[in-house]
């Protein structure tokens, strides 16, 4: 048996037990894929992040839900980098790179008002047409089809993880959402492992541009992700492409998420048009919560 220390951080918040919980495991080169998956299952968070050595970047990070490995995770990245800096594992530097299954991505670290903020660049955005039933998608999260905003496209998007972006007319619909995640693969025929990400332009916080919830893939072993970095990134590209495509400069957006499950958090998204695509960056923070021990 091996004893494994897992550090619990909450990302996209400075208040413990708000934002999105992430498990962080340091020095993971001695762990097998099976062992990392086992740890993530025991931890039970939407993602647990594992830090490894890299030959092509400053660090390598792998991300596991309780059910499977993810190519990229926004809040898991925030948690790892925050742990590295605040635990003194690395000397403070303003820039570094991480190796992920979504590619090698640049990270920027900066201080503001005695707080550490982390900016990560994500993959170039991709969109795929959703050809399925909007009625079925609405029903799978407990809504009627009349609550879907059909003036905007429902489609898959990814900056490292696939989500079905589902525009909702009114903020009031979010409180009554009840997902049946097991239905998702039969509805999401094009990308059965995608999550469902309903959002709207009406917000609780006057400083926010989007309100969202995130219902996990049926294969992830979880129901809802409280505050989702990768989905927030692709929403930034969605905004630039489908909502306000006249803007050629940098767009700065704020996404609020987690309100309905008492995990309120914020993700800042920067979108810059570059030729026919967009550069996407998200910025967030984190807070240490506790240390946990598991056996494998």
> Which residues are annotated as catalytic?
47
Burial (Cβ within 10 Å: 0-12, 13-18, ≥19) of residue 219: middle
Rg (C-alpha) for the chain, rounded Å, is 18
**Residue 164: its H or E element:** strand 162-167
CA dist 188 → 73, 129, 132 (Å)? 21, 11, 7
DSSP state of 71: S
Secondary structure class of 186 (helix, strand, coil): helix
What is the Cα–Cα distance from 72 to 63, expressed in whole angstroms? 7
DSSP per-residue codes, 96-160: EEEEETTEEEEEEEEEETTEEEEEEE-PPPEEEE--S-HHHHHHHTT--GGGB-TTS--EEEESS
Q: In this structure, is the dihedral angle defined by the CA atoms of residues 29, 119, 192 and 176, taken in order, positive or negative?
A: positive
Sequence-ordered list of residues with C-beta below 8 angstroms from that of 49, at least 6 positions apart, any chain: 22, 23, 24, 25, 61, 62, 63, 73, 76, 77, 79, 80
Let me know: does 98 contact 92? Beta carbons within 8 Å. no
């Amino acid at each position: 048996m091996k004893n494994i220390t897992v550090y619990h951080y909450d990302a996209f918040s400075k208040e413990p037990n708000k934002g999105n919980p992430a498990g962080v495991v340091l020095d993971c080169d001695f762990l097998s894929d099976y062992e990392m998956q086992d740890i993530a299952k025991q931890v039970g968070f939407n993602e647990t992040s594992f830090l490894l050595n890299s030959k092509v970047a400053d660090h390598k990070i792998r991300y596991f839900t309780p059910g499977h490995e993810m190519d990229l995770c926004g809040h898991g990245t925030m948690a790892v980098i925050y742990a590295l800096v605040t635990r003194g594992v690395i000397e403070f530097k303003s820039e570094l790179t991480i190796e992920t299954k979504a590619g090698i991505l640049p990270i920027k670290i900066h201080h503001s008002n005695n707080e550490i903020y982390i900016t990560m660049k994500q993959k170039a955005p991709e969109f795929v047409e959703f050809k399925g039933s909007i009625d079925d998608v609405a029903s799978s999260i407990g809504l009627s089809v009349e609550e879907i905003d059909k003036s905007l496209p429902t489609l898959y998007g990814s900056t490292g993880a696939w989500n079905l972006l589902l525009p909702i007319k009114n903020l009031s619909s979010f409180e009554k959402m009840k997902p049946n995640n097991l239905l998702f693969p039969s509805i999401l025929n094009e990308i059965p492992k995608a999550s469902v990400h309903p959002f709207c332009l009406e917000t609780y916080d006057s400083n926010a541009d989007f309100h969202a919830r995130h219902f996990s893939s049926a294969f992830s072993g979880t129901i809802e992700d409280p505050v989702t970095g990768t989905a927030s990134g692709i929403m930034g590209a969605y905004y630039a492409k489908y909502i306000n495509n006249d803007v050629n400069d940098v767009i700065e957006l704020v996404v609020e998420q987690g309100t309905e499950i008492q995990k309120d958090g914020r993700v800042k998204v920067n979108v810059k048009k570059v030729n026919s695509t967009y550069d996407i960056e998200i910025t967030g923070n984190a807070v240490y919560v506790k240390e946990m021990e598991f056996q494998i």
